[in-house]
A and B are shown apart, each in its own frame.
Chain A
Amino acid sequence: MLATTRTFSLLGVEVREVHVEVDVCQRGLQTFSLVGLPDAAVRESRERVRSALENSGFKFPQHRITANLAPADLRKAGPSFDLAIAAGLLVASGQLPAERLDGVVLAGELALDGSIRPVSGALAMAEAARRLGVRAIAVPAANGSEAALAGVPRVVPLERLDQLPLVGTDEQPPDPPPFELSLNGAAPNAPDLSDLRGQPYLREALEIAAAGGHSLLIVGPPGAGKSLAARRLPSIMPPLTRSDAMEVLRVASACGPLGRNGLSVRRPFRAPHHTISTAGLVGGGSPPRAGEVTLAHRGVLFLDELGEFSREALEALRQPLEEGTVAITRARGAVELPCRFMLVAASNPCPCGRGEGSGECECQPGSMRRYRAKLSGALADRIDISVAVDRPTAVEMGANGGADSAGVRARVAAARERQERRLGPGRCNADMDLAELRFAARLTRAAKRTLAQGHAQLGLSGRGHDRVLRVSRTIADLAASERIDAEHVARAIALRRRGAE
C-alpha cells in the first residue's frame, strides 16, 4: 500500500515543500530503503524510525519498504524528516487512517524512545505551511510557540510519536500560545549605554551611526572601551518593527530551535573572532548555512581588530553590505540569505597598540605602513564614520556612568522617522543612492562653502564627498533640520575616515 505525507526541507532560512512517499510491498525481502538524495542524517532516519515506532506501541512492518523524498533532485539534509517518514509508514501499513493526515504537514526528529525532538527552521516551515493553505501543521512541542507565530489555522504540538493518531481528532493537543514579541527594544538585561564612562565624543558618534545606519570604525588603544561601546549599540537602535522581528526570529529559528520559553526579540549582536573563515562570515558550505552576516540581520556585526581579519573575508563582506542579501550558489541551485546589518569595526591605532601620537609607540615604519595599508584597504569605501578614542581618564572612570540608552534611542528613532518620511519605510541615510542623496542633501550656502574647502584643503575624493554628505544628512536629521548647515558638514568632516581616500 502507498501513502504520501508532506514535510519541508530547510535551505538557508527558506524552506521547500517535500513529499514523502512510502510504499509497503508484501512481496520481496524485508528491507527499508530511502531514496531521493538523502544525506547521512536523513539516511540514518531509518534506524530512528524503526526504534521509535516499536517503542511507541506500533508495529514496524516486516515487509519491503521504500520511502521516496520528492522532488528527487533536491538534496535533503537534517533529521526533520523523521516524523513524516514514520507517519507515512503508519498509513501505508494500515495502522493510521489516511484521512487523518489530509491537509496536514509534519516536521520533527524522532528519538529512539518515541519522543519528538525540536527541529531548526520551524517558524519558516509554519509560514510556508500557511502560504500552502494547509489545515494544520504538526511540530515538536518545543517548536510550538514559534510555529504558532505564523498564523497557520492549527498548530499541533507533539511530545511523543504515540500522539500522532490524535492529529485531526478532537483529542489532539491544544494549540500552543505564540511567542510574545516585545518590540519596544528595551530588553531588561541588555547592556546599557550608561555603562560607558566618559568618552562623550564616542557616544555622539554612536548616536549618529545608529541614527543613519552608518557603518562605524572605532580606533583606539586597548582598554579604551571600543568593544564595550559596540556592544551597547543595539540598545540605542530604534525598536524592531513586527516584520523585522519576524525576520530576526526566522533566521534564529533556522539556525537552531528557539526554545520553549518566550524570548524577547532584540536586535542581534554578533562579534566573530578575527580567525573566522570566509564561509563562516558570509555563509556557505553544502548544504548552504547562514554566516555571521545573516545571524546579524537587523542588528550589529562587530569586527574587533579589523586589521587581523583575512583579506578574503573582508573582501567577501562587500557585496552583502551593499545588497543586504548573500547569494550562495551551488551546483544544485542558489540560496539567498538576508543580511541587513550595521557594521561596527574596531582597531588599534598601530601594531603595538599604543598609538603613534602617544610618544610610546615603537612600531617600525614598515610594519606601520603595512598595518595602515591593510586597515585602509579593508572596506575603505564601506565605512562612513571613523572615531578615535582614548582610554578614559581616572576621573572619568570614577565618575558615574553617562546618560542611559533610552533617551538616545528616542532621539535616534525620531531621526529615523524623518528619514523614512523622506526615503520610504525601512530606509535610512546609509542606503541612499546618489540620486536620493542629491535630492536629500539640501545645503545652505555656508555648508557648500565648507564642503568646497574640504575638497581644496583635504583632497576629499568623490566617494569621500558623498560619505560626508550622507553623514551630515544624518547629523541634520538628529537636529531636526531639513537644511544641512555648515556645522553639520564640519562635524561629518571630523568623523570622516582618514587615509582611505
Chain B
Amino acid sequence: MSPTNAGVWCLERGTEGYPPALLELGDDAPERLNGCGSERLVRELAFDETVTIVGSRHPSSYGLEVAEGLGNLLAAAGLTVVSGMALGIDAAVHRGALAAGGPTVAVLGGGPDVVYPRSERRLYERLVASGAVVSEVPAGTRPGPGCFPRRNRIMAALGKMTIVVEAAQPSGSLITAEQAQGLQREVGAVPGRVTTRVAAGTNALLADGAAFIRDAQDVLDRLLGVGISDARRAGPSLDPDLARVADAVEGDATSPDAVALATGMGPGDAAVALARLELLGYLRADAGGRYARTTLRIPEAATTLTP
C-alpha cells in the first residue's frame, strides 16, 4: 500500500492546540504532531482526564481480558484512553475503548497514515473513524528501529497516569513506565501470576511501589479521588443459585464440571446456570468453552450469600 497524505493534519509546537502535556518533555518535546482522524480530540485533550495503558505484545488471555475491560470502562467513564496500537494489550485497550464509544488516541511509531502492525488494519480504520492516531514522524514514514522507544515518551507524557497491564522484563512497556516516572506522572500496574513471564515486569513495578490496579475503579479513584465515579456497570440482579455459580467462576472454576464440583450441582444444571450467566453478560467463554467473569458488577443484594 502506498502511503497517502490525505487526511493528515499537523499540530506544531508552540502553536495553539498542541497538547500542553507534551511541553513537559522540555527540549525533547516533538516539534510537530502529525495525526489522522479527529484533530479536535487531540486539540482538546484534557490532561487530567487522560490515561495511558500499555502492555505486552504477547499477553495471556487474562491480560487481554483485563486490558479490554480497563479500556472499556475508563472510556465509558469519560476518560481519554491513550495506547500504542501494538498487537496484544495495546490493541485490546483500544478495542475496549472503541466498544464503549469513548475517545481513544493511538500513538504510532511510524507515520500517522502507515498501518503498523498491518494485521491491525481494521482497528486502525476504526481509530481514524472515531478516535485519533498521532505520531511525531512525517506521514508516509515506515517505523524503523528506535522509533518505538521514542514513541513511548509521547504516550507517557500524554497521560496523567500510565498503567502497564502485562509486561515481561525487560520490555518496551517498562520503558514507557520509566519515562512516565521521569515526568512525575503516576504509574500503575496490574498484578499477575508470579510464575508467568509476562507478569514479571508488572509485578516488579508493583514491588517498586507502583499503584495497584485491579480494575477500572482503582484507576478512577486514583485519578479523580475516591468515590467520585463508579466504573463498573451493575448487571441485573441474580437469584442465589446463579450468584453461587458466578462466585465459583470467580474462584477459578472455569468448566461445567469444575462448577458442579464447587457448588454441588449436577453438571447439566451447572451448564444451564453458566449459559444463563453468559446470557446476562456476567460471564464470557473463550473458543475452547472455558468461562471467565466479565467486569459486570453483581448488584449488592445478591452477593450477600456467604454467611
- Residues on A lying within 8 angstroms of B by beta carbon are 198-204, 219-220, 349-350, 355-357, 359, 361-362, 364-366, 372, 375-376, 386-390, 450, 453-454, 457-458, 487, 490-491, 493-495, 498-499
* A365 touches which of B58, B279, B285 (Cβ 8 Å): B58
A498 touches B285 (CB 8 A): yes
Of the 9-residue stretches B11-19, B131-139, B249-257, which lies at the interface with chain A?
Answer: B249-257
**14 pairs from A and B in contact (CB 8 Å cutoff):** A200-B257, A201-B255, A201-B270, A219-B289, A349-B288, A356-B60, A356-B286, A357-B61, A357-B254, A357-B286, A365-B87, A453-B279, A458-B279, A499-B286
Q: What is the CB-to-nearest-CB distance from B155 to chain A, in angstroms, rounded to a whole number?
A: 21
Given the complex, which residues of B lie within 8 Å of A487, measured CB to CB? 272
B60 touches A491 (CB 8 A): no
Say if the beta carbon of B268 comes within 8 Å of chain A. yes
Q: With A and B bound together, what is the CA distance between A494 and B60 in angstroms? A: 24
Q: A204-B267, A356-B61, A491-B272 are in contact. Are A450 and B288 (CB under 8 A)?
A: no
Q: How large is the interface on B (under 10, 10 to 19, 20 to 34, 35 or more residues)?
A: 35 or more
B254 touches A201 (CB 8 A): no
Given the complex, which residues of B lie within 8 Å of A498, measured CB to CB? 285-289
A361 touches B60 (CB 8 A): yes
Q: With A and B bound together, what is the CA distance between A357 and B63 in angstroms? A: 11
B88 touches A365 (CB 8 A): yes
A490 touches B292 (CB 8 A): no
Say if the beta carbon of B195 comes within 8 Å of chain A. yes
Q: What is the CB-to-nearest-CB distance from A482 to chain B, in angstroms, rounded to a whole number?
A: 20
Q: With A and B bound together, what is the CA distance between A372 and B281 in angstroms? A: 23
Q: A204-B268, A387-B289 are in contact. Are A494 and B59 (CB under 8 A)?
A: no
* B287 touches which of A220, A372, A453 (Cβ 8 Å): A372
Q: What is the CB-to-nearest-CB distance from B286 to chain A, in angstroms, rounded to a whole number?
A: 7
Q: What is the CB-to-nearest-CB distance from B52 to chain A, in angstroms, rounded to a whole number?
A: 21
Q: What is the CB-to-nearest-CB distance from A34 to chain B, in angstroms, rounded to a whole number?
A: 59
Given the complex, which residues of A lie within 8 Å of B278, measured CB to CB? 457-458, 493-494
A359 touches B268 (CB 8 A): no
Given the complex, which residues of B lie within 8 Å of A454, measured CB to CB? 279
A388 touches B268 (CB 8 A): no
* B268 touches which of A349, A458, A491 (Cβ 8 Å): A491
B287 touches A375 (CB 8 A): yes
Question: Residues 255-294 of chain B: 1 if any A CB is under 8 Å from the residue's CB, otherwise 0?
Answer: 1111010000011101110111011110001111110100
Q: A457-B278, A491-B268, A491-B275 are in contact. Are A199 and B286 (CB under 8 A)?
A: no
A494 touches B271 (CB 8 A): yes
Q: With A and B bound together, what is the CA distance between A357 and B276 in angstroms? A: 21
B275 touches A359 (CB 8 A): no
* B292 touches which of A204, A357, A361, A372 (Cβ 8 Å): A357
Question: Residues 42-63 of chain B: 1 if any A CB is under 8 Å from the residue's CB, otherwise 0?
Answer: 0000000000000001111110
Q: With A and B bound together, what is the CA distance between A252 and B98 in angstroms? A: 58
B288 touches A457 (CB 8 A): no
A457 touches B289 (CB 8 A): no
The chain A residue with its CB closest to the CB of B261 is A393
B260 touches A201 (CB 8 A): yes
Q: Which of A201, A362, A499 has the most CB of B within 10 A?
A: A201
Q: What is the CB-to-nearest-CB distance from A41 to chain B, in angstroms, rounded to a whole number?
A: 49
Say if the beta carbon of B122 comes within 8 Å of chain A. no
* Closest CB pairs A-B (n = 6): A388-B289, A499-B287, A494-B275, A349-B288, A494-B271, A201-B267
B286 touches A201 (CB 8 A): no
Say if the beta carbon of B304 comes within 8 Å of chain A. no
Q: With A and B bound together, what is the CA distance between A393 and B255 in angstroms? A: 13
Q: A372-B287, A387-B289 are in contact. Are A359 and B195 (CB under 8 A)?
A: yes
Given the complex, which residues of B lie within 8 Å of A355, measured CB to CB? 288, 290
* A457 touches which of B59, B62, B260, B281 (Cβ 8 Å): B281
Question: Contacts A355-B288, A365-B59, A390-B255 given; 17 further ones with Cβ under 8 A?
Answer: A198-B257, A201-B257, A201-B267, A204-B267, A349-B288, A357-B61, A357-B286, A359-B195, A365-B88, A388-B288, A389-B257, A458-B278, A490-B271, A491-B268, A494-B272, A494-B275, A498-B289
Q: What is the CB-to-nearest-CB distance from A305 to chain B, in angstroms, rounded to a whole number?
A: 14
Q: What is the CB-to-nearest-CB distance from A75 to chain B, in angstroms, rounded to a whole number?
A: 47
Q: Which of B197, B258, B278 has the most CB of A within 10 A?
A: B278
* B290 touches which of A198, A202, A357, A458 (Cβ 8 Å): A357
